[in-house]
Amino acid sequence: MTLAYTPSNLDEALQILADHPDTVLVAGCTDLMVVDYAMGRRHDAVLDLLAVPELHGIAVSDDAISIGATTKFREILNHAEVQKNYPMLAEVAGTVGGWQIQNRATIGGNIANASPAGDSLPVLLALGAQVEVRGAAGPRIIPYEAMHLGYRRVDLRPGELITRVRIQKPAANTVQMYKKVGTRAAQAISKVVVGLCATIVDDSVAEIRIGAGSVAATPVRLDRTEARVRGARLEPSLADEAGRIASTEVAPIDDVRSTAEYRSFVLGRVVRRMLLNMISGETGPNSTAGSGS
Amino acid sequence: MTGKGGISFSLNGKAVKVDLDPMSRLLDVVREHCELPGSKEGCGEGECGACAVLLDDEPVCSCLVPLIQVRGRTVRTIEDLETGGVLDPIQEAFVEAGGVQCGACTPGILITLRALLDRNPAPNRTEVREALGGNLCRCTGYEGILRSVEALLPGGDES
C-alpha cells in the first residue's frame, strides 16, 4: 500500500520531504495518474500538496499577482484580477483540458510536469513570471526562462517544491496574445502554443517577450524573433520577417500529434498574425483565430 | 498522516469509509468497492469525461482522482441524480428528446450538465458546448445531446 502523507502546513511538508527525499509530490494528478495507470506504476510514498493551505490561492497586490502552486486552472480562469490585468493567463487556463480537468490541474503541476506541450508555460515565459521554490535550505526565486533545464527537467533541487508563481503587473500599454493550435478547440494537447506580451510606444515595439511550446524539448523564448522586433516600427513587413525568423529558430520534432515541418510553419504564421493583429489593434481574446491564414 | 484505518468521505449523501490504497482511482473505488457502476471508464486518461463525478459539486474525472484526495469531501455520482425513483429533469429530457445512443458517455454528460445547470439555470448553446468540451460521445450524438438540454431550458422544446 502506498504511504500517503497529508501535511497540514508547508513546514511539515518540507520536513517530510527532507526526511524522505524519494517521496513523490502529487497535486491535481491529471498527468501523474495517467502515467501511473497506463504503465502500472506504483509509488512507495506520496505527499499530497493539496493538503497544504499555504500553497493554494491567488494574492493580489498593486504591482503583481502571486498564484499558489496548487491553484487550479479553473480558479485562475474565473479570477477577476487575472481576467482584468493578466487576460492571457485567463485565456490559457480555459484551454487546459475540459472543465473536469481545469477543476483539478494546477499551475504548479503544469510547471513541475514540464511537458514541452504544457499550455501555461509559454504564457509564463511571455509574462516574465518568477517561480518561488522552497526547500529545507530556504526559498529561491527563479526567473521563468531559467526554470526549464532540459526535456522534462526543471530547476528543482532535492527537497524543494514549487510554492508560488509571481507575475509583475504588465504596464497599461502592454498587449497580451495567446494562441493554441490543437486538433480541436477543446481538450487537445497542443501542436503549437504561443504567448506574446508586447509594449507599444509610438507605433514601435518597445519591449516584447514571446514564449512558444511544443516546438522544442522545453518551452522556449523566441530570442531571435524578439531581437528583430524589439525597437522596430510596427508594419506588415516586420510581421512577415518575424514570422520567417520564428519558423527557423526552433527545433520541433515529429510525433503522434504533428510533424516538425508543420510546427515550424505554423509557429511562423502564428507569430506573423499576432504582429499583424497588433498593427490592426485586434488584440483581444482569441484575436489570433485567423493565424493559419 | 497516512491512509491507515480507512479514508472517510460522503458518497451520494452517505458517509462511507474505505480502506484501500490511498492512490486508488476514485473511479474504481465507486464502481467496484462501493458497487456504484454508473460512472463509466472510457479512456482512463482524462480525455473523455465518461467517468465524471462531482467532487464538492465540481465536475472532475474520477479516473484521475486518488482516494486520498477525497478524504472529508463530498462525492456525487450519476446514481444520485434520481431521487426516490424520480428522475432528475435533465435525465427526463434526455429520455424524451433522444439524448442517449449507446449510453457510455451519458452518465458523465448528465452529471456535468447538473453542475452547469446548478450554476447557470439557462445556459445558451455556446455555454453548454463549453461545459461539455471535456465529454466525448463515441456515437457522435452531439446534436441529440444539445437538443435534450435545450428542451429543458426556458423557451425550449418548441421545435
Mutate to test the interface with B, among A39, A70, A77, A99 (most CBs of B within 10 A): A99
Quote the CATH superfamily of domain B89-152: [2Fe-2S]-binding domain (1.10.150.120)
Q: Does A39 touch chain B (CB under 8 A)?
A: no
The alpha-helical segments, DSSP class H, found in chain A are 10-19, 32-39, 73-77, 80-85, 87-93, 99-102, 107-113, 120-126, 223-229, 236-248, 260-280
Which is the CATH superfamily of the domain at B7-78?
Beta-grasp domain (3.10.20.30)
Using the beta-carbon criterion (under 8 Å), do B68 and A97 form an inter-chain contact? no
CA distance A164 to A207: 26
Task: Work out the minimum CA distance from B2 to partner chain A, whole angstroms.
Answer: 5
Residues of B with Cβ-Cβ distance to A28 under 8 angstroms: 64
> Grid coordinates 513523490 are at which residue?
A24
Write phi, then psi, for A244 (nearest 5 degrees): -65, -45
Domain with CATH 1.10.150.120 in chain B: 89-152
Which of A80-84, A188-192, B39-43, B54-58 is the least confident region? A188-192
CB atoms within 10 A of CB A18: 14
* Sequence letter at residue A35: V
The residues that bridge with A140 in the sheet, in sequence order, are A133
Q: How far is B106 from chain A (nearest CA, A)?
A: 15
Q: Where are the beta strands (DSSP E) in A152-203?
A: 153-154, 161-168, 174-181, 192-201
Does residue B21 sit at the A interface (CB-CB below 8 Å)? yes
Say if A232 is an interface residue toward chain B (CB within 8 Å). Answer: no
Q: Is A8 on the interface with B (CB under 8 A)?
A: no
Q: Report the distance separating Cα B128 and Cα B110, nearest Å.
A: 12
Chain A residues within an 8 Å CB radius of B111: none
Residue pLDDT tens, chain A, 293 long: 999 999 999 999 999 999 999 999 999 999 999 999 999 999 999 999 999 999 999 999 999 999 999 999 999 999 999 999 999 999 999 999 999 999 999 999 999 999 998 999 999 999 999 999 999 899 999 999 999 999 999 999 999 999 999 999 999 889 999 999 988 777 778 889 999 999 999 999 999 999 999 999 999 999 999 999 999 999 999 999 999 999 999 988 888 888 999 999 999 999 999 999 999 887 654 444 333 32
Q: Note whether A78 contacts B: Cβ–Cβ < 8 A.
A: no
Top residue of A100, A113, A187 to mutate, by most chain B CBs within 10 Å, is: A100
Which cell is A78 given? 474565473
Q: Edge-to-edge strands of the sheet including B74-76?
A: B14-18, B7-11, B74-76, B52-55, B58-61
Helix axes B89-97, B142-152, angle to 10 degrees: 130
For chain A, domains (ranges, CATH) are 3-168 (3.30.465.10), 174-280 (3.30.390.50)
- The gap from C-alpha A120 to its chain's centroid, in whole angstroms, comes to 3
Spell out a b/e string for A187-221, using b for 16 or more CB atoms within 10 Å of the CB, else e: bbbbbbbbbbbbbbeeeebebbbbbbbbbbebbbb
The yes/no answer to whether this complex scores an ipTM above 0.90 is: yes
CA–CA separation, B107 and B111 (whole Å) = 6
- Asked if residues A154 and A147 have their Cβ atoms less than 8 Å apart, the reply is yes
Bridging pattern class, strands A24-26 and A45-48: parallel
Contact A101 B3 (CB under 8 A): no
pLDDT of residue A284: 54
Inspect the interface and report whether the beta carbons of B133 and A187 lie closer than 8 Å: yes
Q: Return residue ranges of chain B for CATH 3.10.20.30.
A: 7-78
Instruction: State whether residue A187 sits within 8 Å of chain B by CB.
Output: yes
pTM: 0.94
